[in-house]
Amino acid sequence: MKLGVQVVSEVNRAQGQTWLAGGLGPGSLLDDRFSITDVICNGGMASIFKANDLQSGGRVVAIKIPHQMVEADPTLFTRFETEEKIGGELEHPAILKFYPVKNKSRMYLVMEYLEGKTLYQLLRERRTLPEEEALALASRICQPLQYLHDRGILHRDLKPENIMLCTDGTMRLMDFGIARLAHARRMTFIGFAPGTPHYMAPERVNGKRGDVRTDIYSLGAMLYEMLTGRIPFNQEDVTAIMNARVTGDPDPLRRLNPAISRQAEEIVLQAMERDPDKRFATAVEMQGALDNPTQVKVTGRSERLEPSTPFKRGLRKARTIFLWAILPVIIQVLLFFLIWHHLKGHGK
């Protein structure tokens, strides 16, 4: 009986992934070129499949296919167009490679297939990294980040899930869905700047444009987690996280992990300054500190940290931000069920 339930569950899961991707799944042939062999992951906006590119001698690739509800949402669909445009223009050994495809029958992205694990997965396994390893990894991330900034591109969604640590020892920076040119015309999403609250810079929470120092803040937040095993501002909900980030500073790192050097703590806290003018000005500058921590001057930042203001003053604003943040999600869910009911009706 248990086996039967498991088989039905696996069939339903596979059918769900296939339906979300518009009927595509393992065994499908996309545009008479890509033979899909396996499911890599199934996220909230897209499914990623492993496939063989029949026009390039069977090269193994990863194909990112947006869910049907995403294709029906102009705002979310724009993220895929942005990722394809920016990703296709980048050529760096530490940035995920995109393969151009002409005359596509639908929206999808073709990327190099990588074996390994994300930084998120690594931290779930190990919780913290030794200081030397954490600083070295952050330094490696600075390299592709500076490459982007030199070309006027802001990533805007740096987080452990977007750092792939490959089995061959290389690394890739991924996901350019909300990246943009630093001086491009500002795109209006529904009331809220997109990104991941746990790693988002205060100016982004406040809806400001941001610059290269916005990415530096996010890298600092990632390094904070690598060293302490905790996400900075890990409050109980999204509104509390955003309020804490704009009204106060993170806890001192050495209070959470006394083994951390004062120099490493100084580097992280400088990267995570609420005032962008007090952060590292460039990724190259931050990399210099990461590569030479013993030469970092300890300024006493950890003694000057201010606790976040309780919700009172910022509550109304935080609630408003949160409501605008979840509105696109509500719209996605409604579209999902409308499409589902439509297709279900046609299937009868």
The catalytic residues are: 157
**Residue type at position 204:** R
Burial class (CB in 10 A: 0-12, 13-18, 19+), 120: middle
Phi and psi dihedrals of 130, rounded to 5? -55, 150
Cα–Cα distance, 28 to 234 (Å, whole number): 42
Q: Pull the structure tokens for residue 70.
A: 């995403």
Distance of CA 229 to the CA centre of its chain: 18
Q: Pull the structure tokens for residue 333.
A: 């869910």
3-state SS, residue 84: helix
Distance of CA 216 to the CA centre of its chain: 14
Residue from 214, 227, 224, 232 nearest 283 by CA = 214
Give the relative orientation of helices 119-126 and 212-228 as an angle to the nearest 10 degrees: 20
Q: Pull the structure tokens for residue 33.
A: 């070129």
Cα–Cα distance, 47 to 28 (Å, whole number): 14
Cα–Cα distance, 321 to 243 (Å, whole number): 10
Cα–Cα distance, 110 to 2 (Å, whole number): 38
Rg (CA), the chain: 22
In degrees, rounded to 5, the angle at the alpha carbon of residue 53 between the alpha carbons of residues 50 and 58 is 100
3-state SS, residue 221: helix
Cα–Cα distance, 69 to 19 (Å, whole number): 11
